[in-house]
Structure 1
Amino acid sequence: MSPTTSDLSAYSASGHVTFLGAGPGDPGLLTLRAVEALSGADVLIAEPDVLEMVRSHARAGVSTPALTVVDDASTAAGIPPIRDAANLVMEAARGGKRVVRAVTGDPGLDGDAGTEMLACASAGIPFEVVPGIAAAVGVPAYAGVPLRDAQGTDVRLVDA
């Protein structure tokens, strides 16, 4: 369930996180709720490939801390992670900020967003999920390729 704009005032003291699906990269595919959440954000934490797209809907002066990519190569080289998305989200929300965490596609299909949602739930930080168009559905639709036909053929997504 998504709160309305008037409901967001209840989160001002404790902070609030919106996990936002930015879709496959076309700003015209953002939902009205996504644009509303972006316009009210104090902090915008977005994946690099959607940052500019979603930032265009955020208010002037929104904080956009950079994500730190932590991978096996940086760990093996002894480069310590400075900040990752989960820590950025939690820190800002604990500070009473309205945080928008934007991911490519849909947050429900993003494993990192799921981990961040669980961290918020464990910490008692209120959050909402604004779905986005997953690339697995959006790309074929853009190409004019239906994923189902009149006979109801099944669609199966396999993550290899």
Structure 2
Amino acid sequence: MTGKVYLIGAGPGDPELLTLKAHRLLTMADVVLYDRLVGKEIIDLIPDTAEKKYVGKAKSLHSLPQEEINSLLVAKAKAGNRVVRLKGGDPFIFGRGGEELEELIEEGVPFEVIPGVTAAAGCAAYAGIPLTHRDYAQSVRFLTGHLKNGTTDLPWEELVHPAQTLVIYMGLTGLQEISQSLIRFGMVPSMPVAVVEKGTTSEQRVFTSTIKEVYEVATQNEVKSPALLIIGEIVTLQSKLEWYGKYK
């Protein structure tokens, strides 16, 4: 009897941002494969009876290649298990969830997707930065700073646009190149930028700067991954709206 795979978004870190459905299915799992960005407090929710396996990825350091993760999901489900594939944030936003589902479909394994709070929404909210605002930004764009080929060769001309917020996932490694490229393609050097480190967790740190100086600020403060970049005039509201330290 074939089991089922539940592709669950664990959110950006705070366990209380798990959806009710995600929490219910996680506590019923037979097998859980979890990523590097899933917080310890969420991992602690996995029942003791479940098989737990870390399959996370860091830059140039993968505990398992993606192909092996895909095969493992298939094998565990075909053995009749309720398999939870637990991913940080949302599995369909830079989470490679689509690649894993393609394999499940090819192998005839049933699955269900449970969306999660993506880092852009969670980290921005906890840092006090609205991603859109009638006076500052009427659009928001999510990008990854780490492309499949290992470069940060983004469509720079499209990104330098008024009234737009840019949110860059995994942008810390290429931060210097990102800032220089945006300026080279026309972004004003004084454009506000926020770097949110370990967003939504008790270790969250937020640094605001400009696109010209953000690399130096991040370096001086020894910012570590996971960190999210938010670029746009909307960042000027951060000091006014931040509520994390007061209400968390």
**Which TM-score tier does this pair reach, normalised by the shorter chain?**
0.7 to 0.9
- Asked if residue 66 in structure 1 is aligned to residue 54 in structure 2, the reply is yes
Q: 1:51 to 1:100 in 2, by over 3 A?
A: farther
Superposition map of 1:11-160 within 5 A: 13-50=1-38, 52-67=40-55, 84-150=68-134, 153-160=138-145
Which sections of structure 2, spanning at least 5 residues, go unmatched? 146-248
Please tell me whether Structure 1 or Structure 2 has the larger radius of gyration of its CA atoms: 2
Q: Give SS of 1:65's match.
A: strand
Q: 1:43 to 1:51 in 2, by over 3 A?
A: farther
Q: Give SS of 1:105's match.
A: coil
Q: Figure out how many residues of one structure are paired with residues of the other and give that number.
A: 142
Cα distance in 2, alignment partners of residues 70 and 143 from structure 1: 24
Cα distance in 1, alignment partners of residues 105 and 40 from structure 2: 28
Cα distance in 2, alignment partners of residues 148 and 49 from structure 1: 26
Cα distance in 1, alignment partners of residues 61 and 119 from structure 2: 27
| Higher RCO, 1 vs 2 (CA within 8 Å, ≥6 residues apart) | 1
- Which residue pairs with 1:8 in the alignment? none
Specify the code of the residue in structure 1 equivalent to 2:41: M
Q: 1:144 to 1:68 in 2, by over 3 A?
A: closer
More helix by share: 1
Q: Give SS of 2:134's match.
A: coil
Cα distance in 1, alignment partners of residues 18 and 57 from structure 2: 25
Moved more, 110-119 or 126-135: 110-119
More strand by share: 2
- Which residue pairs with 1:9 in the alignment? none
Q: 1:50 to 1:68 in 2, by over 3 A?
A: closer
Identity %: 36
Deviation digits for residues 107-160 of structure 1, max 9, x if unmatched? 111353211111111111111111111111211111111111136711112223
Aligned residues of 1:103 and 1:110 also touching (Cα < 8 A): no
Which sections of structure 1, spanning at least 5 residues, go unmatched? 1-12, 75-79
Aligned residues of 2:34 and 2:56 also touching (Cα < 8 A): no
Give, in angstroms, the shift of residue 56 of structure 1: 2.0
Give, in angstroms, the shift of residue 39 of structure 1: 1.0
Cα distance in 1, alignment partners of residues 120 and 81 from structure 2: 32
Cα distance in 1, alignment partners of residues 48 and 71 from structure 2: 24
Aligned residues of 1:69 and 1:84 also touching (Cα < 8 A): no
Per the normalisation by structure 1, the TM-score is 0.77
Q: 1:95 to 1:51 in 2, by over 3 A?
A: farther
Q: 1:134 to 1:126 in 2, by over 3 A?
A: same
Aligned residues of 2:87 and 2:95 also touching (Cα < 8 A): no
- Which residue pairs with 2:150 in the alignment? none
- Which residue pairs with 2:237 in the alignment? none
Q: 1:70 to 1:28 in 2, by over 3 A?
A: closer
